[in-house]
Structure 1
Amino acid sequence: MFTGITVAIGTIGQVEQRGDLRLRIDCPFDPAAIAIGASIACSGVCLTVIDRGGTKGEAHFSVDVSGETVSRTARGMWTEGRELNLEPSLRIGDELGGHIVTGHVDAVGRVVDWQPVGDSEEVTIEAPAALAPFIAEKGSICVDGVSLTVNSVHDQPNGAVRFMLNIIPHTAEATTLGGLGQGAEINLEVDAIARYLHRMQMLRAG
């Protein structure tokens, strides 16, 4: 379980195609604090640490990325040199600064507009129709592993949904979201509470 609060930006330093993808992710962590078998969210994807090394501040850890994961995440994100938002799993007693995030990507969204507003940026993302019931104004959504508040929602004639987010300067600097551009694909995870409420409504309606 995670909170959608990025603690560091990592970089994919090596990609090895085996049966699955084996990645080495370089990061500013202390390797002594990275446990083998631990879960780390990498741009919204929960991955298991299978190896780690390096020194404090210049650490690295390795993960395996299955074909299923590759097929359900943003195109081109598992490539050498790609930056990733990193968040270790939540521990009992940690502050829940964002919202409850599982690290399971629900769908891939696409940036359709990106405009400066004051010191911030307003970004509009289009998500597939399957996610429309779970995205609500002033609700929470996880974008590439970052917990954000939905400012507005606009349903599209084809069933898709477009929603607008505000990216403040700190978020742009502390995450990979500051580097997004028009047409960029991003990993989306809807709010878990919204998912359960929708399921309950479906059962009542049936």
Structure 2
Amino acid sequence: MFTGIIETLGEITNLVKEQENLHLTIKSTITSELKIDQSIAHNGVCLTVVGIKDDEYTVTAIKETLDKTTVGSFQINSFVNLERGMKLGDRLDGHIVQGHVDETGTCTAIENQNGSTVFTFTYYSEQNNITIEKGSITVNGVSLTVINSTDTSFSVAIIPYTYNNTSFKNLALTDTVNLEFDVIGKYVSRLTNNK
């Protein structure tokens, strides 16, 4: 489990394809605190540490992950949002995040609003994922509050701290992002769509 509160950015230093898998090596300020088998969210995608060397660690993404997230489009020298799994008893500062991406979305608007930046994203309604006004959403692993919710789009307002300390500062129009919808909303949607 994660909270969607990003700890740091990691720089991708190597990508190695092996059959259907992709091994990613990431340089990070938290590498010295990691251990093998630990779960870390990378732009919201939960991946397991399989190797550690100096200030870099390696994780492996399988075909399912590559097909359903943006991990397959990661490039060397790009930065990703990193969050380690939460500790039992810690404060839940964001919201409950599983690290299981539901679908990808597209950035369709970026608007500077004199103190915050509003990003708008579209997604596919066929998958029955929903947002609600003032509900929770995870975009590239960042826990955010939904505004301007529609059936196929939503916006989020990013404060300067979040903008400067996550990969939002590198996000551009038409970029694809990982979306994890609120877990409670997913259960409610599933229950109401089965009736």
Going from structure 1 to structure 2, the CA distance change for 1:75 and 1:40 (only over 3 Å counts) comes to closer
Aligned partners of 1:152, 1:28: CA distance in 2, in Å? 36
Q: Determine if the alignment matches structure 1 residue 77 to structure 2 residue 45.
A: no
Name which of 177, 186, 189 aligns with 1:186: 177
Aligned partners of 1:131 and 1:190 also within 8 Å: no
User: Partner of 2:56 in structure 1?
Assistant: 60
User: Partner of 2:189 in structure 1?
Assistant: 198
Q: After the TM superposition, which of the residue ranges 73-82 and 41-50 deviates more from structure 2?
A: 73-82
| C-alpha distance after superposition, 1:29-85 (max 9, x if no partner) | 152x2110010000000000001121xxxx211011112211111276322112110
Q: Which runs of 4+ in 1 moved over 4 A?
A: none
Which consecutive residues of structure 2, in runs of 5 or more, have no partner in the other structure?
A: none
Amino acid of the structure 1 residue aligned with 2:171 = L
Going from structure 1 to structure 2, the CA distance change for 1:15 and 1:30 (only over 3 Å counts) comes to closer
Which consecutive residues of structure 1, in runs of 5 or more, have no partner in the other structure?
A: 156-160
Rg (Cα) greater in structure: 1
Aligned partners of 2:128, 2:116: CA distance in 1, in Å? 26
Aligned partners of 1:172, 1:46: CA distance in 2, in Å? 22
Percent of aligned pairs sharing the same letter: 36
TM-score by length of structure 2 reads 0.94
1:35 aligns to what SS in structure 2? coil
Name which of 170, 173, 178 aligns with 2:161: 170
Q: How many residues align?
A: 194
